[in-house]
Structure 1
Amino acid sequence: MTQPANPTVPAQRNAANPPTNTAPDPLSLVRVEVDAVNEHAGDDPIKIGIVSPMSRPGDAMAGVLVSRGARLGAEYLREHGGVLGGRNVRLIAYNDMATATEDGFAKSAVAQMAKLAFVDDVIAALGQWHLRTTDPVANLCEAVGLPMFVENGHSTVTRGRRSIFRTYFSIADRAPLMMDCLKGTGARRVAILAADTVFGQTMANTLQQEGEARGLEFLRIDFEQEVVVDWRDDLRRIKEWQPDVFINGGLNVIAGGGPVGNSYHILQQAIEVGLLPGVAMMVTFGFPMRSLDYWRMAGEPGNGVMWPATKFRPSWPEMTAIGRWFTERFTERYGFAPPDTCLSAFTDVTIIGQALDHAGTYSRAALLDALEEAEFDTWRGPLRFERGQHHNPPELVIMQYQTPNQTFDEAAIIHPPSLADSKYLPPNVTVESA
């Protein structure tokens, strides 16, 4: 049977003892990327804005990932002739969490985007990450005709808006694929532990709807994102229910701050109570792709994790020249393979540059026209946006780590069958023992 979203056994609250934050300051990391671009911007730059979370209470590393992708996009344009006859990109980046503690996420993000639109007069913007900020920020951009590219999974943000574009995938894109994959493994009982954010609830609702349509049975427990740091009782309850699959619906934000998201703390506590590695685990976004962090936090019991991902990795032979340039430059600079969120920001900046060349002039109106008229060179081949259809996602796959300490480039693709290179491996099975 389906359990209520508000469980009778609540997640434990321990906000008085939050994890210690020892991570590098994300704002400083963003500034490194932005300054590196602006050093070469010149006197008449192409001004592109970034509004993304760069501090708590948001997903503070999101802005770092976006700024790294945007930096490489600016470098690619500069090294390939510039834009509109040789002009280079200038990045103007604002932390959309600047006043979030006092004013809330949405008001803070809109204020930062307003600065880009009215004071800095950028030609386009990117970087929206949290679903709870995306709609109000998109409304502002639509009202002033500012082209904006979205980096998150909001399912409807591009609908009915001419100024909003996305090259990333939405919740509506990934949820059916995830449930088809679980159905294909023979799973019947699925437990979800979900954060009460907009993303967490929308993701859980969509997964449950898609799963129940496929005959799957659900136990669902929601938790308060801002205060909960102890999920052991809920994980024990899930273990007693004996699911075939556990969906870890944690995020990259955690009560009280901290260097890692609650997705990892849920994982570690699931291991502690014995839920893992005996039950298959799927997560709702691609944080395992940062493989060094994943294996450091999860250890060997984290083997077998499944996640939805863009059909992208450095070794794929179908990568285009621009994708190969990005992958090699990113890996050389940062020492690891690029996450798809960096790839998305890179793609957005290079599309803006190509569209301006097509327009032949520097104006927001001309850029919007060009974005709907031209065809763009991207890592996955030619890409177009049609009027009324500004959501152009990549192909998606379900990936799985099947041997401890794999890199994401080595991870198996297990779904859909037409793209799979390996079969699903159940818990406690590795490639060596299969």
Structure 2
Amino acid sequence: MTGMISQARPQRRDEPDPVRIGALAPLTRPGWAEAGRHLVAGLDLAARAVNDAGGIAGRPLELLVRDTAADPRRAAAAVEELAGLGVAALAGEYHSVVARAAAERAARLGVPFLCSSAVLDALTERPADGVARIAPAQSHGWRLYADHLLGAGHRRVAVATRPSAYWAAGTRILRDRLAPHGGTVTELDADALSPAAVCDALAGGGATALLLLVGHPEPAVPLVRSVRRDPRLTGTLVGAPAGQPEFAEWAALLGAAGAAVPFLRYLPERLPPLGARVGAALRDRLGEAPSFVAFEGYDTVAVLAEVLRTRGVDRARTAAAWADVAVDGTRGPIRFSRVPETGVWQWAWPPVQVVDRDPAEPGRFRVLHSG
């Protein structure tokens, strides 16, 4: 599925016009292509389920997928193109800064956009009635992650980070949550420091945890290897709140060294019946266990299909429908509301877990904290 760009399929004379949804996802580097593959798998599986159930008022639902490659300008251009192709709505995207560019352009063009996976709180500069989000806001999930750190006794935390609005926001959330409890957050520039230099800073700084606020696989994987091999850092927690260990590539590259790295995962401890059925179908399609990102993709199309069925294929009516959405998603009932600081309609909240890979069995996940 990597690199896939779906075009409008040829239409037979005897079939009704399709209802088209534009889908954005990172499918090539430097985007997180594995996340994009899972996202598109969920989007596509849901679209097939909609069509198996009769489509949108008898019209087939069709996805037009565009690869953003983690490039905000490319995403904005894709939104322009898809709007010109007449899509009823936009869906998807994983990277926060890319989703923000897409959301801003969609709002200006009047195209409804349901964001699947990006979590940056301020998804738009100003409140945008036509934009909604399935994923939780970053501040919600990362505060829960900070609570897990505090509960585990970590008050001196270091973050290896790179310049980005997303990583900067994460650092600020962690610092604000830890500070009232006497906690501190020290920033280490992952662009300026080699993995060995990061280890030196950790050894001399007294932090008990290092959080990876960086991309995957570079430089996250070399950082983990260096910390795990350094005898001075035995017992230092390595964490990755953004979810890097969720995907199979992490385990394949790091093996046992990638275990016991807590991260945020947007799944309940037990999936409802719909989620279990969708999870099995996604596993067959992906050839591996589906990530939470795949479930986010499925829920996105399920919500949009319900809105299009009940409100009709009209952009303005779709954009005005978020407050009335009531859909049973793969991870629980989905409703939208206005949440301060986000500027968009928000599912508040999807289930959130802090999990890690079990050192005794790295293919198995352990739930460490829920909220």
Q: Distance in 1 between matches of 2:122 and 2:51?
A: 34
Shift of 1:40: 9.9
Q: 1:222 to 1:394 in 2, by over 3 A?
A: same
Q: 2:367 aligns with which of 413, 416, 423?
A: 413
1:284 aligns with 2:244: no
Q: Distance in 2 between matches of 1:275 and 1:155?
A: 37
Q: Distance in 2 between matches of 1:352 and 1:238?
A: 47
The answer on whether the counterparts of 1:219 and 1:238 sit within 8 Å (CA) in structure 2 is: no
1:240 aligns with 2:204: yes
RMSD after superposition: 2.6
Q: 1:154 to 1:398 in 2, by over 3 A?
A: same
Tell me the amino acid that sits aligned with residue 366 of structure 2: A
Tell me the amino acid that sits aligned with residue 289 of structure 1: E
1:147 aligns with 2:123: no
Q: Distance in 2 between matches of 1:240 and 1:211?
A: 21
Structure 2 gaps of 5+ residues are none
The answer on whether the counterparts of 1:53 and 1:95 sit within 8 Å (CA) in structure 2 is: yes
Query: Normalising to structure 1: TM-score of the pair?
Result: 0.76
**Which residue of the partner structure matches residue 259 of structure 2?**
303
**Which residue of the partner structure matches residue 64 of structure 1?**
37
Q: 1:302 to 1:60 in 2, by over 3 A?
A: closer
Q: Distance in 2 between matches of 1:249 and 1:374?
A: 34
Matches within 5 A, 1:194-343: 194-224=161-191, 230-252=194-216, 260-274=217-231, 278-290=235-247, 292-312=248-268, 316=270, 319-343=271-295
Shift of 1:404: 3.5
Shift of 1:57: 3.3
Q: Percent identity?
A: 20
Secondary structure of the residue aligned to 1:299 is helix
Tell me the amino acid that sits aligned with residue 109 of structure 1: A
Shift of 1:109: 1.9
Matches within 5 A, 1:166-181: 166-181=133-148
Q: Distance in 1 between matches of 2:232 and 2:168?
A: 23
Q: Distance in 1 between matches of 2:141 and 2:224?
A: 21
**Which residue of the partner structure matches residue 430 of structure 1?**
none
Q: Distance in 2 between matches of 1:51 and 1:261?
A: 23
Shift of 1:269: 2.3
The answer on whether the counterparts of 2:282 and 2:294 sit within 8 Å (CA) in structure 1 is: no
Q: Distance in 2 between matches of 1:74 and 1:131?
A: 24
Q: Distance in 2 between matches of 1:345 and 1:62?
A: 11
**Which residue of the partner structure matches residue 138 of structure 1?**
103
Q: 1:386 to 1:295 in 2, by over 3 A?
A: closer
Shift of 1:285: 1.6
The answer on whether the counterparts of 2:23 and 2:90 sit within 8 Å (CA) in structure 1 is: yes
Q: 1:311 to 1:182 in 2, by over 3 A?
A: same
The answer on whether the counterparts of 2:155 and 2:178 sit within 8 Å (CA) in structure 1 is: no
Tell me the amino acid that sits aligned with residue 123 of structure 2: V
Q: 1:173 to 1:82 in 2, by over 3 A?
A: same
Secondary structure of the residue aligned to 2:355 is strand
Secondary structure of the residue aligned to 1:190 is strand
What is the total number of aligned residue pairs between the two structures? Answer: 362
